[in-house]
Amino acid sequence: MAKDYTAMWKDLEIRLDAHSGLLGVLTDAYTNIYLSQKNRPEGMKYFDFVISEVHGLRIEELLTAKKEGRKVIGTFCVYVPEELILAIDGISIGLCAGAEVGSDEAEKFIPRNTCALIKAFMGFKLAGLCPYVQTADLIVGETTCDGKKKAYEIFDEITKGKMYIMEVPNMKGPDGRVLWKNEVARLAEKLESLSGKGISLEKLKEASRIVNEKRKALQRLSAVRSHDPAPISGLDALLINQVAFYDDPIRFTAQVNELCDELEKRAERGIGVAEKGMPRILVSGSPMAIPNWKLHAIIEGSGAVVVGEESCVGERNFSALLDGRFASVEEGFEKIAERYMSIHCACFTPNAERMDDIRDLSKRLNADGIIHYALQFCTPYMIEAFKAKKTADALALPFLRIETDYSMEDFGQLKTRIEAFIEMIREKRRA
């Protein structure tokens, strides 16, 4: 029988009734969407376990770490350098939320037409349903999209001053790079004063190694998805990419590598979760925070397989490694600043490199079509869809543009559009 965490949740001021309702809905959704999949790799058992303990064992681990003097740092963006957090012995936790929770409460503070991700992180906190926010000692936000940076001002009030903001430039020219380098050093200082621990060269090197190993494991997972038949479903790969933001990085890396051993053997033997020749889709756009599985569930329930995510919950999080060859802490900060500047988020202008990524990924993963996913009111990605379509056109790849949120209201309509898109891919192949 599962352990009873009621006392722990109570201490964290979680609203118990609503929380048990939320866990019930999540368990049902997970059973329907995940556990019903056929021919799943054995290695997914670990991730099933992690999900079953998402508000239980992991929170208990964080609380134990806090008692040992470690700090828990919440983040909302892949621009926040995890290496700095690990270098002060801290724990980095992704706080983005992927479910429609607490919208009514959130709408008392922010407009109705705000992106679902912002509404959800506000809603989770306001509805008393997020043990991670409660556990965090500091929450690092960033000046990326307008919605987030303005919502953080309110979130700071709601969390009684837990927010710290990094200034992310809008452009990647020389001035922007200097600003960003200074911001990396400023965050390091903040983390040092919060933890009372200085960042040594040795610690920074070790942190860099741990995070790079995690990235390499995720790159390995991405590489094996290029096989036909796909050895793992897009749903399972998405889940792993979501778990990457809050599991212990060393344990997570070991589990992903173990899973990849299995997947590479499957690929060698031609074993897959999908039939050989099934239409292969690259999903590109706004991040899909846990438990946002909607689009992948529709695509894979309509006779196609998702083979990659050009997304921050996906390739943008792991495609670039940090150059670990630095001889001083300052040089390490410079390398960190460079590495994070190479993330191609639509909040930057121009952002042509993202189009190169879409092109390269489509080729490497042998995609038959691209589905561009933007959360409603996520203006940067909604507008960049125009260029993504031009990129797909140049590759002669079918392209479908979707704008949606976390609600299930448009499920039927999306399914109809996606089924027609997949049929179009099949027809194109027959022609």
| Least spacing, CB of residue 281 vs ligand BJ8, in Å | 20
Nearer to ligand BJ8, 218 or 375 (CB): 375
| Least spacing, CB of residue 118 vs ligand BJ8, in Å | 5
Nearer to ligand BJ8, 355 or 422 (CB): 355
Nearer to ligand BJ8, 113 or 200 (CB): 113
| Least spacing, CB of residue 161 vs ligand BJ8, in Å | 22
| Least spacing, CB of residue 318 vs ligand BJ8, in Å | 13
| Least spacing, CB of residue 140 vs ligand BJ8, in Å | 11
Nearer to ligand BJ8, 54 or 166 (CB): 166
- The CB density around residue 430, as the number of other CB atoms within 10 Å, is 6
Nearer to ligand BJ8, 145 or 243 (CB): 145
| Least spacing, CB of residue 18 vs ligand BJ8, in Å | 24
Nearer to ligand BJ8, 259 or 375 (CB): 375
| Least spacing, CB of residue 396 vs ligand BJ8, in Å | 27
Under a CB-based contact definition with an 8 Å cutoff, are residues 71 and 195 in contact?
yes
Nearer to ligand BJ8, 118 or 281 (CB): 118
Residues that bind ligand BJ8 (CB under 6 A): 77-79, 115, 117-118, 144-145, 147-148, 286-287, 312, 343, 345, 347, 375, 378, 380-381
